Amino acid sequence: MTRAPITRRRALGVIGLGTAGVAVGTTGWVSGLGAPAGSGRLPPGTSGHVLAEPAVLASRDGLLDVELTAAAGARLAGRDTSALGYNTTTPGPTLRVAPGDLLRIRLINHLDVPTNLHTHGLHVSPQGNGDNPFLSIAAGSAFDYSYRIPADHPTGTYWYHPHHHGYIADQLFGGLAGALLVDHGPALPVTNDRVLLVTDTTLDAAGRVVTVGAMDKMMGRQGELVLLNGQHQPVIPSAPGAIQRWRIINACTSRVLSLHLTDHPLTQIAQDGAFLPAPIDRDRVVLSPANRADVIVHPTRAGQYTLVADPYQRGTGMMSGMMGDRATGPIILATLAVAGPAVSSSPLPATLPAPPIPPGPANAHRELSFAMGMGGTGGMGMRFTIDGRTFDDRRDDQTVHLGGR
C-alpha cells in the first residue's frame, strides 16, 4: 500500500480539523465555570472559585506512610470527568517530609495499563523499591515504595508523577501529578505558603480525556484546558501588605509557562528545589515542563491582578516551521484578589541558603547531540535520538561520578 506524503497543507489541515473538534468540546465543557464555589470568602465584585489547595499528608516522628491510588474519575473544575488522579483528585495530595525522614508509599494501580512513580528532584536511591523508573506496576496490582530522605537534603519544592516508559505522556496529560515538599527551610515572613500546580488537558463535551493524534505526539501535546490545582481560573485572596509564597509547578506534558502577574513583580527565591543566593525581582518567570519556581508575591494595594501564561515559541526547527508551534493567546491561570485592611510584614532575608558551587574548573567535558527526524517505528512517525541512538533501557550511554564537575 502506497502512502501519500504529508505535505505542509495536509498537515495543517489535519491539525486544524482536530483542534477545532476538541476545542468545541472543551469550550462547551468549561462554559459557566465562573460561578462562585461557595467555599471561602471572596472580595466584593469578584467572581470565581477560591483557590483550593491539595490535601496535605505530612510526616510525623520521622515517617510519612501513605497510600496513593491511581485511577480514572477525578473531578476537574468542580465537574466529574474521566481524568486521572491520585486518591480521586488531580493534583494528588501534597506530601510534606523533612530531611532525614522515611517516606513510604503504597502505589495502587486502578488504571487499565501499567504505571509507576517518580519523585521528581529528590536526592534518593534509584534502585530496588526506591525511585526506580524501570519498575512496572501492572494494572490491578500494588507496590510498596520506600525512600530515605538524606539528612542533608535541600529543602524546597519537588513533585511526583508516573515515569513508566511508553505511558508517561498519556498519564501526565490525564492528570497524574502531585506536589512533594521538603520542609524546614529558612524562616520567611509569609502569611500563606501555597502550592500552585499547573496542568493542561483536552476534554470532550462529556468530560472524557481526548486521545491525542500523531501530530500532537510529535510536536508535544498542549491541552485546550489549562488548570491551576485542578481549577479553572481560581481566585487567590490576599490582604494589602500580606506576603505569600507561591510554589509554582509546571506539571504540563509539553507546555512552557511564561508567567507574569499584572502590575506586580514575581520575587523569585528558588528554582527546581534549590534556593537562589538572594531574592530576585522578575517581570516574568519561564518554566519548562517539570520546572518549579518559588516566588514571593507582596501586593501593597487593593485590586485584582491576573496571573497570566503568555504564548511561548518552543522551537524554530523544520517541523515547527512547517506546522507552527500552535502557541495560544494569553491564558489567565488565576486572579489575585486583594482587599480588606492592610497588614504589615517583615522584609525578606537578604540572603538565602543556595547550594554551594563546587570549586575549581570542570573535570570533564561532554558534548551530546539531540536530534529529531522522520523514521520512527515501521518507517512512520518521528525518531528521537541522543548521539544518533534511540532509547534502550538495557544500555548505559553516559556514566558520571558523584561529586564531579
Say yes or no: 326 and 201 in one domain.
yes
- Cα four-point dihedral sign 109, 111, 112, 115: negative
Q: Do 286 and 222 reside in the same domain of the chain?
A: yes
Residue 298 maps to which CATH number? 2.60.40.420
Whether residues 204 and 134 share a domain: the answer is no
Identify the domain containing residue 92 by its residue range.
56-182
In this prediction, residue 266 carries a pLDDT of: 98
Final residue belonging to a domain, choices 130, 162, 182? 182
- Residue 9 has a pLDDT of 36
119 in a structural domain: yes
Tell me which residue has cell 463535551.
205
- pLDDT at 36 > cutoff 90: no
Per the structure, the count of domains in the chain is: 2
Residue 398 inside a domain? The answer is no
The pTM (predicted TM-score) of the whole model is: 0.88
Query: Residue 353 falls within a domain, yes or no?
Result: no
Q: Are 118 and 164 in contact (CB under 8 A)?
A: no
Same domain, 200 and 315: yes
Pair (111, 218) in one structural domain: no
Pair 175, 207 in one domain: no
The pLDDT score that the predictor gives to residue 68 is: 98
User: Poorest-confidence range of 52-66, 173-187, 278-292, 354-368?
Assistant: 354-368
Long-range contacts of 343-349 (CB under 8 A, 24+ apart): 343/191, 343/239, 343/240, 343/241, 343/242, 344/241, 345/189, 345/191, 345/241, 345/242, 345/243, 345/298, 346/189, 347/189, 348/188, 348/189, 348/243, 348/267, 348/269, 348/279, 348/296, 349/186, 349/188, 349/279
| Strands of the sheet with 331-338, listed across from one edge | 235-238, 331-338, 303-310, 257-261, 285-287
C-alpha cell belonging to residue 202: 483536552
Residue 215 lies in a domain: yes
Is 231 found in the same domain as 193? yes
Q: For the segment 308-343, what is each residue's pLDDT rounded down to a tens digit?
A: 999 998 775 555 544 445 556 899 999 999 999 999
On whether both 193 and 174 belong to a single domain, the answer is: no
Residues 204 and 296 in one domain: yes
Where a domain ends, among 147, 182, 217?
182
Please tell me the predicted confidence (pLDDT) of residue 351. 96
Tens digits of residue pLDDT in 148-157: 999 999 999 9
